Amino acid sequence: MTRERHLFTSESVCMGHPDKISDQISDAILDAMIADDPNSRVACETLVTTGLVLVAGEITTTTWVDIPALVRQVIREIGYTDPSMGFDWETCAVITSIDKQSPDIAMGVDPGGAGDQGLMFGYACRDTAELMPMPITLAHEICERLAVVREQGILPYVRPDGKSQVTVEYDEDGKPTRVHTVVVSAQHKPEVTHDQIRKDIIRHVVREVVPEGLLDGDTVYHVNPTGRFVVGGPQGDCGMTGRKIIVDTYGGKGSHGGGAFSGKDPSKVDRSASYMARHIAKNIVAAELADEIEVQVAYAIGVAEPVSVNVDAFGTGKLTNAAFARIIREIFPLTPKEIIKYLDLRRPIYKETARHGHFGRRRPDFLWEETNRVDELKSAAAKPA
């Protein structure tokens, strides 16, 4: 399919970004509860600001978790260990306001229905080995590398907050050809100069992550574009769970149903069905049945079966979109209970998802990234309609 040459941009944020601190705290609480009581119902929201963490939500569980202690542990792991940052694990206040899940919701979930209505999307393409869009993949890897240079002391002046943004140029065939622009904002100690930060970030972060063939003499670099990024983290910006849903998914490629993931147990289809939709899309592309595909599933609260399955292969599919939707229903489990069992989602795996994206990660515990249904998809595609 011929297209015009174009640019596409995606962003990521570091684990010390205020919104990501909130996501990690919410998911750490979920992990702690689900580890002891796999059937815990958790809808946990976190807000962070200067010197304060507020945890609120609806939780039904048979276990007990010391939430303030867990909050402080997460903040310490992220790297907020110095009071001069305006936020640190020892001195911040932690306030909790937790209630039980509504019995009206439980009536629909207990028999196996969806925990809410909503629409979820999964996406995959051939940009990268992970079958993810290249802009978001590179943006995530830059943020991961910022954590490495900070934690290993390679750039000892770097602090936990930070963001990245990558613009990729695509050719007429829709293939990524080069990195057009890289934006990196890294929180830092006050004594380091902007020139030193720019030099170090390009050398020790960008060039360590972006393949050499994608960078050229025309690549544009914006490193700490304002010239200074000392005040950051919750001191610089209030953070909340669920405000980085595009960072968490595909960086703006494809669609998003609007529901956040973090702090939600897998009975919430916002999370579990999004993971399954990614799994389906990735297997279809891995089976070479499409070069790019988006899968939408939608649910009604308390109803187990999805109300709809829709597919868009953007003109790259070897089957019609309707045929893809049909074989998806034949091959993949789509009720909440089936998805939870199939992807083994009642495990404490979620805090890690809140760092550097939920998709395209090479981790054995992220079962939605496995391409284990390729042969079945090829067989189904080969059968007469």
The DSSP-derived string for 24-75 is HHHHHHHHHHHHH-TT-EEEEEEEEETTEEEEEEEEE-SS---HHHHHHHHH
Candidate from 44-48, 99-103, 155-159, 369-373 with smallest mean pLDDT: 99-103
The DSSP letter of residue 84 is G
The candidate with the shortest Cα–Cα distance to 244, out of 114, 354, 99, 94, is 354
Q: In the chain, which residues fall in CATH 3.30.300.10?
A: 6-14+134-232, 18-104, 118-125+242-382
pLDDT reported for residue 104: 66
**pLDDT value for 78:** 97
Q: Which two tokens stand for residue 255?
A: 């669609």
Element (H, E) at 135: helix 134-151
Residue 190 CB-density burial (10 A; 0-12 exposed, 13-18 middle, 19+ buried): exposed
| Alpha-carbon distance values, 158 to 12, 92, 313 (Å) | 17, 21, 42
What pLDDT is stored for residue 79 in this prediction? Answer: 95
CATH code of the region 18-104: 3.30.300.10
Mean pLDDT of 213-228: 96
pLDDT band at 118 (very low <50, low <70, confident <90, very high): very high
Please tell me the class of the 6-14+134-232 domain.
alpha beta
Cα 345 from chain centre: 16
- pLDDT tens by residue, 327-353: 999 999 999 999 999 999 999 999 999
Specify the residue for token string 């790019």.
292
Give how far the C-alpha of residue 297 lies from the chain's centroid of Cα atoms, to the nearest Å: 18
Across the strands, what pairs with 308? Answer: 298
pTM: 0.95
**Interior/surface letters 201-218, b for 16+ CB within 10 angstroms, e for the rest:** bbebbbeebbeeebbeee
Helix axes 374-382, 269-286, angle to 10 degrees: 70
Residue bearing tokens 């796999």: 38
Phi then psi dihedrals of residue 166, to 5 deg = -130, 130
Residue 312's region, left for phi above 0, alpha for psi from -120 to 50, else beta, is beta
**Measured distance CA(325)–CA(340) in Å, rounded:** 21
Residue 105 has pLDDT above 80, yes or no: no
| Of 295, 303, 243, residue with least CA distance to 274 | 295
For residues 104-131, give the mean pLDDT.
Answer: 84
Q: What pLDDT sits at residue 11? A: 98
Beta strands in 265-371 (DSSP E): 292-299, 308-312
Q: Do the Cβ atoms of 22 and 28 come closer than 8 Å?
A: no
pLDDT at 107: 60
* pLDDT score, position 108: 62
Which pLDDT does position 284 carry in this prediction? Answer: 98
Distance, in Å, from the CA atom of 193 to the CA atom of 230, rounded to the nearest integer, reads 11
Q: Which amino acid is at 219?
A: T
Cα Rg of the chain (Å, integer): 21
Overall average pLDDT of the 234-244 stretch = 95
Residue 2 — pLDDT band, cuts 50, 70, 90? low
CB half-sphere exposure, 150, CA atoms < 13 A: 24
Distance of CA 159 to the CA centre of its chain: 22
Q: Is the pLDDT of residue 150 over 90?
A: yes
- Would you place residue 3 in the very low, low, confident or very high pLDDT band (cuts 50, 70, 90)? confident
Phi/psi for 254 (5° steps) reads 75, -160
C-alpha distance across the termini of the chain, in Å: 24
pLDDT averaged over every residue in the chain: 95
Q: CB neighbours of 304 closer than 8 A, spacing ≥ 6?
A: 111, 112, 113, 114, 335, 336, 337
Distance CA 70, CA 58 (A): 18
Domain 118-125+242-382 has CATH 2.60.40.10: no
